[in-house]
Amino acid sequence: GVGPIAVLLGMFSVNPSPPWLTGLLVSIPVAVILCYLGLSFDEWMDAEANLKKGVKSLCYKVWQYGISLEWYIMSWFLFVFVYQVFLIAIGILAPMTALTFLTFPGLIACLVLLKANFRKVGGYLVIVAALYPILLLVGQIIGG
């Protein structure tokens, strides 16, 4: 798994007194990508049927209220990028983690083309989103 719980389990498994607050702060972007972006994207095609069954979640409300999925995804990604700049500015992340910004052009391209071919472009969007934590790790290794 990934996200705050997995980070804490990993930290405490190798160190009896890890900097757990730092681990929680750093895990937020990945948690946002998986929980808010990934779930909404994954459930988009089934939203109408699941709403009729009474399923309730923020992801389904995005569909129900007619909010653009592209806008919703971009908003959360922008939050993640701004939050990452904050973590760089306070010295928690290495400046080289800005390598993740290389995913931004691909993200924009995928979101522009998403409505034209949801399944095909959606696959590319998943790849672009998966590059974020990889580039974050590479940047931290190189720069830290």
Contacts of 66 (CB under 8 A, 6+ apart): none
Interval 36-46: pLDDT, tens = 777 787 888 88
**In terms of Cα–Cα distance, which of 52, 58, 6 is closest to 28?**
6
pLDDT at 116: 94
Interval 63-103: pLDDT, tens = 889 989 899 999 989 998 999 999 999 999 999 999 999 99
pLDDT at 105: 96
pLDDT at 60: 81
Give the range of the structural domain holding residue 124, as residue numbers without chain letter: 4-143
Q: Per the structure, how many domains does the chain have?
A: 1
Q: How far apart are the first and last CA of the chain?
A: 24
Residue 111 DSSP label: H
More confidently predicted of 45 and 104:
104
pLDDT band (50, 70, 90) for residue 138: very high
pLDDT at 57: 79
